[in-house]
Structure 1
Amino acid sequence: MKGWTAFALATAVVLTGCSTAPKTALPTYEQAAAHPFLQANRDAMTQLLAGLPPALVSPLLVATIVDVNDLRVSSPLGRTLSEQYSSAAAAAGIDVREMKLRGDVFVREQTGELLLSREIKDIARVHQATAVLVGTYSVAGQYVYVNIKLVRSETGQILRGYDYALPMDRDVQRLVRKPSGDL
C-alpha cells in the first residue's frame, strides 16, 4: 500500500510539472466594468456629443459601424461599438430609438462621398429621427481606427464627427473577425 501511495504521489508531482500554461486569474466584475475598451467608446461618445443640445440630435438612430473597406460588411466589433454608442447616448440624455440598422447605410455617389442611403432616410423619417449615428472602422497592424459621425437624417449634413483608435489587443482581434456569411 505504501508503494502505491508513493507511486501515486510521484505521478501527481510529475504530471503537475508537465503543465505548460500557468493559470491566470480570470477578470473580476470590477476589472470588466473598468475595461479600457468600454471607456474608450464612452469617451468617444462624450466627445462627439460635447456641447450639442440633446434636442439637436433627438431622436437618434444608431447604425451598425461598418468596415471602411466594404461598407456592406460589419463584424462583432462594429455591432458591439454600435450598442455601446447607443447606451452612452441614452445616458447623455439623447432620445435613442432602438433599431438594428445594418448593410446599406451608406451609398457611394460618383463623387466618392459617403451619404445616407435612401432606405435609411426613409427609416429615419418613419421613426421621426432627427439624426443618425454612422461610422466606420479600419483594421490596421496595431490599431483599429474608428470614425463616427452624427448626420442630420433629412439633409445628410454632418453635424459632428470624431476619430479615435483602439489598440489591437486580443479582445479587439477576436471582435474584428467576421463570421463566414456575415453581412
Structure 2
Amino acid sequence: MDKFDNIWQHSMIEHVFEDGTVKFQGEASIKVDVIIHCTGYQYHIPFLKTKGLVVVEENRVVPTYGHVFLPQLAPRLSFVGLFNMGMTFLPAELQSKWISQALSGNVLLPSEKEMMHDVEQVYKQMEERGIPKTCTHSLNHKMDYMDWLSDQLKITRPPQKLKDFYARFIERFHNDHEGFREAFEDNLLIEDGM
C-alpha cells in the first residue's frame, strides 16, 4: 500500500514549506507544484491566512471582484467556481482563462480601488433588491455573467443558443430536482427537432 493512499481521501495539511513540500497531519509529506482547495458549497476557508482581507459572511466570500479576485491581492489570490448553484462548467472555464490572462499580464485588472467600488456596488444592488448574502455566488439566471467574463477576456461572447440551454437547464433543475435530467433530455430533443 502506497503511503499516500489515505492522504488523498483525508488531506489535512499541517504545513506548506517554501520549497513546495506539503506536510500532512501524521508523518506523510509530498512535494507539489499547486494546491487546489475544494471547499464544497458551504464556504469555509480557515487555511487561507489573509489577515482579515477575505472572510466568509453568510456563505458570501467577501470581497471578490467578479466572483474571482480579492482586490487587495489581485491577481495573486483568485477563486475559481465560487458558485453555489447553476451550470458551472463554462463560467469556471472562463474564470480560469481570466486568471491565467491576468497573471500573465495579457489582461489588465482595474485598480484595487475600482474593484472595491464595483464589489460594493454589487452588494448594494443585491441588498436593495432583497437578495440575501447567501445568494451572492448563485449564477442562477445570470447568463450575463458569461458575457461579462468574455468581455474581460476580450473574446467572443457565448452564443445565445448556449445561454438559452443553460437557462432551460437551470429552470428545469429548480422545478424537478429528481427527474430533471430525463425530462430535460426528452424536451431538448423535441425542441432541437431531433
State the TM-score, normalized to the length of structure 2: 0.23
State the TM-score, normalized to the length of structure 1: 0.24
**Which structure carries more strand by proportion?**
1
- Between the two structures, name the one with larger relative contact order (CA 8 Å, sep ≥ 6): 1
